[in-house]
Amino acid sequence: MSIELTDEQLKAAIMELLAKKGRWGAHYLPIDTTINWLGKKVRRDGKRVKLMVRELVNDGYLFVHKRGETISLNPAKSREIMELLRSAPQ
């Protein structure tokens, strides 16, 4: 069962997944794992998830590790990230 999320909801879902797993700074999660978990819930498999991850990296909310294969949340923006997660539409 796939649901249609807006771009903002998808970005919040990515950041929420990383926050729940405690992936801040040097503790990272493979991008493929993130795509597999969220791709089951989102239409168009993982293409949109990859696009949103790229946008979050460009905005400075995520760090990329290991030649672009893993991601983690930026601890310098932890306050902004937590505020976005609280205010994100469900």
- Does residue 45 surpass a pLDDT of 80? no
Does a structural domain hold residue 11? yes
Q: What is the pTM of this model?
A: 0.89
Helix or strand (DSSP H, E) at 78: helix 78-87
Does a structural domain hold residue 1? no
Does a structural domain hold residue 56? yes
Can you tell me the mean pLDDT for 34-48? 78
Does a structural domain hold residue 67? yes
Does a structural domain hold residue 2? no
* Helix, strand, or coil (residue 58): helix
For 59, residues 6+ apart whose C-beta sits below 8 A from its C-beta are: none
> What is the CATH classification number for the domain harbouring 27?
1.10.10.10
48 confidence band (pLDDT: 50, 70, 90): confident
Q: How many domains does the chain have?
A: 1
CA distance 7 to 48: 9
Residue that wins the pLDDT comparison between 90 and 13:
13
